Chain A
């Protein structure tokens, strides 16, 4: 697990990524100048609401909302330029190469399709398997995400399963075409704390056994620090700090420090938590501190 990204070429390289929206009130820059590389590791992107972390994830898949514009000096997945790829190539990469787990299973599963047929669909888009094989594979996948009675869940509709189960189904659905990279956009925010840990354990297990790269997007610094290998801290559409998770306590950037100080700790004994002070100069400074 130690820095495998140094020995082999990165799966995904992003250089100077910009996402902007042309709105009636003017150009909104959601992401401006984000660069990073991803190997077979767990990369966390942390930041407050509106810092552009979700937009970064979506831009990689080419699925930003209509009216948005993506520019980058380089946006490459295993040697394929994602900016110039045609629709057919993009469709092959989506799901098969890069996949995304969304926030709330309540909305991200189709209410009128059974769980089984939704997972199966993901599989059949990317392979020419027969219906029977797809079914067997889907049941295996449900077992892999630790769902008991997969036969029963297979035939259920999304409203018949719980939130944690829904998110595990979502993971199964996104993992079944065996992508190389998973983008998890706040995958546990809609779940309660005990279920969060179960879902994360499942995710961790799948990533480790299959050797995938993970981009974990969250606003929860502690969660990211304990789950990921490397952390990108984003603020106002820029990466303000890139740091290894184990070194988080030694973070240098005032924003990261500010975020850390805002967290109550059991042994801290602080009376009042400090309010994060934002410095406009952070936005002017060039993207990444190495």
Chain B
């Protein structure tokens, strides 16, 4: 307890004695602001739990969730099978755990594709302006005009069902809001004096975009990304449910609901458990995103 008190004192000292201490203090103060929001903390716990479960999957589970065991099909939840077994006798608990990896895989991959595309298109449109802006923004509008799931379905139908194609389709339908945000930020940044200063130094347009404009757009894009992750998960689950995403026997949560649908009346746990998993994880991302927005918001003066 005493050690904790001194650590807290060190983190909250009026006058930091070193650069490291000052930096730790800033993080700690942001952290204090973050944990004052209990809802955000719940979100963070859910996401940390999800990542932990995905990382520890081989040690938590007793099977790989793929091998059918027809002798034990549709067992109700018990101490042996916590969430029961599905139509092919596979342990639902194990499948949920392994499915968390697929969920994270989709979310991570979509983010990695979407953020650079959105930033590139948005900053170029906002900074250069004129005809380039008009063309890029109308292109963005076209993608925004379609409901996300419908467009993703059309793309997957064209590309062929599968996890990779689902990721690609979701990415292609998700980048447009990021381009909008990045453009809005770039529009305000491009008239700043420090951009003029960079121009005066003879920095090229590409240099200004990558070194001056993009870093300033990042924080709002990141917050938007955490808020969008729930949407990404839901779209992925929707595609899985429709049979256009991950293919059986992959334990993708949407596909699990789809397979369990026929047992809904008599063996309710088969489709319900993956449904709850989707609900909890999307909720977690949304709550975390809200909390991050409050902490990162540069206008709140943190």
Contacts and interface: CB of A to CB of B under 8 A. Distances in A.
A113 B201 contact: no
A111 B193 CA distance: 11
B202 A100 contact: no
For the side of the interface on A, what is the size category?
A: 20 to 34
Interface string A140-171: 00000000000000010000000000000010
A177 interface: yes
Contact of A100 (B129, B200, B204, B212): B200
A94 B200 contact: yes
A99 B201 contact: yes
A95 interface: yes
B202 A91 contact: yes
Contact of B201 (A90, A109, A122): A122
Contacts of A107: 192-194
A173 interface: yes
B197 A102 contact: yes
Dominant secondary structure at the A interface: helix
A100 B194 CA distance: 12
Contacts of A95: 200-203
A223 interface: no
Nearest to B218: A112
Nearest to A160: B22
B52 interface: no
B196 A126 contact: no
B135 to A, nearest CB: 18
A99 B203 contact: no
A125 B204 CA distance: 8
Given A63-B199, A121-B201, A173-B201, A104 B215 contact: no
Interface in B202-217: 202-204, 207, 211-212, 215-216
B254 to A, nearest CB: 39
A61 interface: yes
Given A110-B212, A112-B215, A63 B202 contact: no
Nearest to A176: B201
A94 B199 contact: yes
B193 A104 contact: yes
Contacts of A121: 198, 201, 203, 207, 211
Given A107-B193, A108-B193, A170-B197, 20 more contacts: A90-B202, A93-B202, A94-B200, A94-B202, A95-B203, A99-B201, A100-B197, A102-B193, A102-B196, A104-B193, A107-B192, A111-B194, A112-B216, A113-B212, A121-B198, A121-B201, A122-B203, A125-B202, A173-B197, A174-B201
29 contacts: A61-B200, A63-B196, A63-B199, A63-B200, A90-B202, A91-B204, A92-B202, A94-B199, A94-B200, A94-B202, A95-B200, A95-B201, A95-B203, A107-B194, A108-B193, A110-B194, A112-B215, A112-B216, A113-B211, A113-B212, A121-B198, A121-B201, A121-B207, A121-B211, A122-B201, A125-B201, A125-B207, A126-B202, A174-B200
Interface of A: 61, 63, 66, 90-96, 99-100, 102-104, 107-113, 121-122, 125-126, 155, 170, 173-174, 177
